[in-house]
Amino acid sequence: MTEQNTRLGILLMVATTFIFAVQDGISRHLAAEYNVLMVVMIRYWFFAAFVITVATRKAGGVRAAAATEQPVMQAFRALLLVVEVCVMIVGFILLGLVESHAVFACYPLLIAALSGPVLGEYVGWRRWAAIAVGFVGVIIILEPGAGVFRIEAVVPLLAALMFALYGLLTRFVARKDTAATTFFWTGTVGSVAMTVVGVWFWEPMVASDWAWMGALCITGALGHFTLIKCYEVAEASAVQPFAYLQLVFASAIGISVFSETIRPNVAIGAGLVVAAGLFTLWRQRVKG
């Protein structure tokens, strides 16, 4: 992998995190006005159209993209992701972008912790120590000792757990299926599932919010496109640390657009979570 490709990969990852942060901001705005299930359903319609279009442009078309020996696992991880998206957006409404992303940033630590039981990978004591430090950071963010513990704080933590499991299952299915097949199942199964549920919660939407919905769909497709290109030109271990910039960008949007604030415990806890996550990524690269 050349230095030039790594630099391009880093730039694409930074762009991806910014696009996804904007997407989260739009999701928070729309979900505050309309039912979360309807918002995610429309977003997934566009996502499905995008993955089908990508599939038709490749050799073998949709039939080749859909071909898999593990349909149950592919369908399960697609359903897991769509539920995680819904739960995370609920977190944005309950806690805001800043605190939701501060807690969600622990998902790489959850991946490291679960990689043993799920994938049979070895996790050494250094990474276990980093995982412990990261979860101390999460506890600091959640502040369970300050009065009554808010159950809302568990929402982004649940989303992080589901996203970590989704990431591990994505690595699991990659042993037999191509990235194109996994991408196809993610979009199509998620779209069907959300339509079955979301159509019952349809609400009329004003013209200005349809424009925001269009922006949400475009940022979703664009973010996945830049992420795919990022992993095509650079090694995942080189660009993954820059994924934490989504916390920075989302926090900036939360503060500037939604008038959120960063409490000291959130800043300290998020710092510990990110530092621990970066260490686990570094150890993974060293062991690799």
pLDDT tens digits, one per residue of 20-69: 999 999 999 999 999 999 999 999 999 999 999 988 988 788 898 899 99
Q: Give the structural domain span for 71.
A: 3-287
pLDDT of residue 148: 45
pLDDT digits (tens, 9 = 90+) for 239-264: 878 888 898 999 999 999 999 888 88
Q: Would you say 135 and 109 are in contact if contact means Cβ atoms under 8 Å apart? A: yes
- How far apart (Å, rounded) are the C-alpha atoms in residues 282 and 180? 28
Nearest CA to 136 among 274, 46, 42, 269? 269
Strand, coil or helix: 37 = helix
Q: Would you say 95 and 152 are in contact if contact means Cβ atoms under 8 Å apart? A: yes
Q: Would you say 112 and 173 are in contact if contact means Cβ atoms under 8 Å apart? A: no
pLDDT of residue 1: 47
Q: Would you say 141 and 101 are in contact if contact means Cβ atoms under 8 Å apart? A: no
Nearest CA to 197 among 28, 32, 24, 44? 44
What tokens appear for 68 in the block?
A: 């898999």
Q: Within a 13 Å sphere around the CA of 278, how many CA atoms are in the beta-carbon half?
A: 11
In the chain, how many domains are there?
1
- How far apart (Å, rounded) are the C-alpha atoms in residues 48 and 65? 13
- How far apart (Å, rounded) are the C-alpha atoms in residues 39 and 205? 10
pLDDT of residue 2: 52
pLDDT of residue 210: 95
Strand, coil or helix: 277 = helix
pTM: predicted TM-score of the whole model, two decimal places: 0.88
Matching residue, tokens 């960008």: 249
pLDDT of residue 186: 92
- How far apart (Å, rounded) are the C-alpha atoms in residues 96 and 91? 7
Give pLDDT < 50 ranges for the chain: 1, 147-148
Strand, coil or helix: 276 = helix
